[in-house]
Structure 1
Amino acid sequence: MDALAQLPFEQTHPLQVAPLLRQLQSHGPLHRVRTAVGDEAWLVTGHAEVRLLLDDDRLGRSHPTPDTAARTGESAMFGGPLGNFDTEQADHARMRSLLQPLFSPKHMRGLRPRVEALTTQLLDQMTEQGSPADLHAALALPLPVLVICELLGVPYEDRDQFRSWTQDAANTRDRERSERGMGELFQYGMKLVAQKRRDPGDDVISRLCAVDGVSDTEAAGMSMALLFAGHETTVVQIGLGALLLLTNLDQWNAVLDDTSLIPHAVEEMLRAPSKGGGGIPRYARTDLDVGGATIQAGDLVLLDIGAANHDPAVFPNPDNVDVTRVATSHLTFGHGARYCIGAPLARIELQVVFSQLVSRFPILRLAVEVPELTLRDDVLTGGLAELPVRW
């Protein structure tokens, strides 16, 4: 290809790899592309290469000259560089050391009964309202918001307000709107931190505030990052996971017949959806060779986890959905030093959701044809705008 491929790639189906991305992937693991705002970048699509680079400290989120760095989009959150180039690695290590104990697998497992109770409550309400229903509004959206609010100590009644800010912050097209959303979210975090310092509770924000040396600014920044990451991505995964099973009814029935498949099914749901190209942005801190090409210091590198999760060298017949597949090598939660600390909680939420959804609504079906569904392309996390179902 002479001209550089332009992101985002057109996706003809919400669950399938974009045709152009599949074409690029067949030519190797590394490609020069243009981002949505016209800047040049490297797109990494091979599983081995993405896995390696996710844990390579020669890549980072910061840039020595952030004002001139290539950007993926207009989002203030992920559109360009973040953090201080000189202190990024130390800052990241400190953040992990503070947050990791609060999100240990053991601690997260203790939350399962509460997640089960909240899921039951939401599905009871959906049953009372009757068929058809919007599974996005009834379950996929409220459950992760409820869970993260309880975990962090954020008032659930503020959900419409903070979700509006997180959506603004994640906007990929309007820089001013994104910056405003981030500012509002941070001010909200500062208000919560002040409240927790006065009246601490049994929650993550209170525990952060109790750590010696953690400033209000640091506690607010970490708390709001957790608020965003702790619900946005899980909202998307519940919706796409449900769509995945409902468009592959043999797999739905396999889980219905054998609920011990739920953990495998969840890993397959995490692996199988794919976006239309893009990926996690990183900047090269030094020159490095990848796949026979030299990435130069300062270059934007996009680690395409969706493409990596569809690499046939690792996942045979990657476009097929198979709830018996052992898909634990997927990279949806990242890898290495930046592996998602919320992964144990996300897995619990997804396992609980699909255990209850399949058993309580065995004849659940889509209420519309797949082409009628709307995929969000204006926010970082993407996902479905709604998911009409009937039973």
Structure 2
Amino acid sequence: MSVPVRLPYEQAHPMRPAPLLRELQARGPIHAIRTAVGAPGWQVTGYEEVRRLLDDDRLGRAHREPDKASRTGESALFGGPLGDFDTEQADHRRMRALLQPHFSPKRMRALRGRVEALTSDLLDEMAAAGPPADLHAALALPLPIAVICELLGVPYEERARFREWTQAAGDITDRSRSEQGLAELFGYGRHLVARKRAEGEADADVISRLAATDGVGDDEAAMMGMLLLFAGHETTVTAIGEGALWLLATPGQWQALVDAPSRIDAAVEEILRAPGLGGGGIPRYARTDLDIAGVRVRAGDLVLLDNGAANHDASVFTDPDRFDIGRPAVPHLSFGHGARYCIGAPLARLELRVVFAQLAARFPTLKPGCPIDELTFDPNVLTGGLTALPVIW
């Protein structure tokens, strides 16, 4: 193998891939790397390999010796190992069994009307204020927060507090800030669970239902509720902002959706696939020695499953770095695959479908309000994402 490359890769433009990453992909599906904090590991970038390994029990999030494990960054939540090595798989199955029913098709159908109403209200406010507008502040940020608050039973008026904590918890550069944010978030979760138990409305919302479930203690209910709070809005904020950017900045794509609203499902899948250009990955640790594409990976090694790079594998996606809502359907890996497929995928798809269907119908002449190279992204937070998206119409 060649000398390990260091993450993150240099990217000259937010809508173009890092040249070095594409060079590495052309050489093969697995690469020796050093993470942003200098730790050794492997990065897997091939579609077939990433898809298979996402559902491979020989990889996990826990580590036999967590203090010695390679870290991807300073985030207390995702920068290093998570869970108990000996019980990880059973713990994961139990968590999924507890959470899956809350994201069932029936629950999502019941939620759709509320997502539509919340989106409509936000777009009313944006239209009334008139152009220009910041689509990030007007829509991408407040909608996922409002939706996850309703789903979980978190008071919307407390959004400024938990938003601050989730952003701190996701900090990939400052360990103490991340640990403090995570502690504050967990403490808030315990407070909510206690409140729900006292109120006794067992079917009112997800946290109430968790709190009323036999065998689920306060700490576990708080942990699961706050994990959903973090994952359920941070990632969708990013997806709405970046999806809008790619639709508006790629010639012909916004008009294609405006002219053919029936393309909304295809547009959402391309929004989920294309902006994630790769260069990081879902962290896993090898539970045993294994071979990946002819490379020997040792037990305990960090393995980054780069689903973003896999979603741009030229052997699977024609002209992969082109954003095209008319692209033939090929399953992307943005939500993972197999036993660890993202529980919240139905909610994310619901929000994106509603948002972009309404946005295209009500603002058909929408366009970027500044040159694309003036846009800024937050490099210090796990989910990244735009800090603002000026638009005019």
Contact 1:109–1:348 (CA under 8 A) maintained in structure 2: no
Report the counterpart of residue 334 of structure 1 in structure 2.
336
Contact 1:374–1:385 (CA under 8 A) maintained in structure 2: yes
Distance 1:328 1:152, change over 3 A: farther
Q: Shift in Å at residue 328 of structure 1?
A: 4.5
Letter in 2 for 1:90: A
Runs of 4+ residues over 2 Å off in structure 1: none
Report the counterpart of residue 292 of structure 2 in structure 1.
290
Choose which of 250, 271, 276 in structure 2 pairs with 1:248.
250
Report the counterpart of residue 178 of structure 1 in structure 2.
178
Counterparts of 2:331 and 2:321 in 1: how far apart (Å)? 16
What SS does the corresponding residue of 1:118 show, helix, strand or coil?
helix
Note the 1:363-374 alignment, pairs <5 A: 363-374=365-376
Q: Shift in Å at residue 276 of structure 1?
A: 5.3
Letter in 1 for 2:338: G
Indicate the percent of aligned positions where both proteins have the same amino acid: 66
Counterparts of 2:193 and 2:353 in 1: how far apart (Å)? 32
Q: How many residues matched?
A: 391
Note the 1:1-391 alignment, pairs <5 A: 2-201=2-201, 202-275=204-277, 277-391=279-393
Using CA pairs under 8 Å that are at least 6 residues apart, name the structure with larger relative contact order, 1 or 2. 1
Contact 1:42–1:301 (CA under 8 A) maintained in structure 2: yes
1:313-333 deviation digits (Å, cap 9, x = unpaired): 111111111111234410000
Counterparts of 1:17 and 1:375 in 2: how far apart (Å)? 15
1:81-129 deviation digits (Å, cap 9, x = unpaired): 0111111111100000000011112211221111000000000001111
Q: Which runs of 5+ in 2 are unaligned?
A: none
Q: Shift in Å at residue 182 of structure 1?
A: 0.3
Q: RMSD over aligned Cα, in angstroms?
A: 1.0
Counterparts of 1:226 and 1:327 in 2: how far apart (Å)? 29
1:158-207 deviation digits (Å, cap 9, x = unpaired): 10100000000000000000000000000000000000000034100000
Contact 1:8–1:276 (CA under 8 A) maintained in structure 2: no
Counterparts of 1:35 and 1:106 in 2: how far apart (Å)? 41
Deviates more, 1:160-169 or 1:315-324: 315-324
TM-score, structure 1 normalization: 0.98
What SS does the corresponding residue of 1:111 show, helix, strand or coil?
helix
Distance 1:118 1:366, change over 3 A: same
Letter in 2 for 1:64: R
Letter in 2 for 1:301: V
Letter in 2 for 1:294: R
What SS does the corresponding residue of 1:191 show, helix, strand or coil?
helix
Q: Which runs of 5+ in 1 are unaligned?
A: none
Q: Shift in Å at residue 4 of structure 1?
A: 1.7
Counterparts of 2:109 and 2:378 in 1: how far apart (Å)? 32
Letter in 1 for 2:67: D
What SS does the corresponding residue of 2:348 show, helix, strand or coil?
helix
Counterparts of 2:328 and 2:192 in 1: how far apart (Å)? 41
Deviates more, 1:4-13 or 1:117-126: 4-13
